[in-house]
Amino acid sequence: MKDRIYNFAAGPSMLADEVLDRLYADFYSYQDSGMAVMEMSHRAKDYLAVFSETKDRLRKIMAIGEDYEIFFMHGGATGQFAAVPLNLMKKGKADYIVTGNFAKKAAQEAMKYGEVKIIYDGKDNGYSQIPAIDELHFSRDVDYIHLCSNNTIYGTQWHKYPETKDIPLVADMSSDILSKKINVADFGLIYAGAQKNMGIAGIAVVIIRKDLINQGNPLMPQILSYELMAKNDSMLNTPATYPIYVLGEVLRWIEDKGGLEQIEKDNIRKADLLYDYLDGQTFYKPHARKTDRSLMNVTFTTPDPELDSLFAAQAQENGMANLKGHRLVGGIRASIYNAMPVEGVEKLIEFMDLFAKENA
Ligand SMILES: Cc1ncc(COP(=O)(O)O)c(C=O)c1O
Q: Are 295 and 179 in contact (CB under 8 A)?
A: yes
Amino acid at 272: D
Last residue of a domain, one of 255, 286, 309: 255
239 and 326 both lie in a single domain: no
Contacts for 268 with CB less than 8 Å, ≥ 6 apart:
295
pLDDT in tens, 114-167: 999 999 999 999 999 999 999 999 999 999 999 999 999 999 999 999 999 999
Query: Domain residues for 345?
Result: 260-359
206 domain-assigned: yes
Helix (H, G, I), strand (E, B) or coil at 131: coil
CB-based contacts of 218, cutoff 8 Å, min separation 6: none
Residues 101 and 69 reside in one and the same domain: yes
Count the domains in the chain. 2
Question: Rounded to an integer, what distance in angstroms lies between the CA atom of residue 53 and that of residue 39?
Answer: 19
Tens of pLDDT, residue by residue over 168-207, are 999 999 999 999 999 999 999 999 999 999 999 999 999 9
Confidence of residue 329 (pLDDT cuts 50, 70, 90): confident
Centre of ligand 1 from the C-alpha of residue 193, in Å: 6
249 and 331 together in one domain: no
pLDDT at 81: 98
Substitution site in 150, 175, 178, 329 for ligand 1 pocket (most atoms within 8 Å of beta carbon): 175
- 104 and 57 fall within a common domain: yes
pTM: 0.98
Task: Indicate if 112 and 162 belong to the same structural domain.
Answer: yes
Specify whether 352 is located in the same domain as 229.
no
| Helix, strand, or coil (residue 140) | coil
How many residues make up the chain in this entry?
Answer: 360
3-state secondary structure of 90: coil
From CA 87, how far away is CA 107, in angstroms rounded?
A: 15
Whether residue 161 contacts residue 144, with contact meaning beta carbons closer than 8 Å, is answered with no
Q: Would you state the pLDDT for residue 328?
A: 87
Dihedral sign for Cα atoms in the order 72, 264, 8, 190: positive
Tell whether ligand 1 has an atom less than 6 A from the beta carbon of residue 11. Answer: yes
Q: Is the CB of 78 under 6 A from ligand 1?
A: yes
Query: Domain with 319 in it: what CATH number?
Result: 3.90.1150.10
Instruction: Find, among 152, 147, 175, 149, the residue nearest to 329 by Cα.
Output: 152
Would the CB of 152 count as within 6 Å of ligand 1? yes
Each residue's pLDDT tens digit, 31-87: 999 999 999 999 999 999 999 999 999 999 999 999 999 999 999 999 999 999 999
- Residue ending a domain, among 239, 255, 271, is 255
Domain finish residue from 255, 286, 304: 255
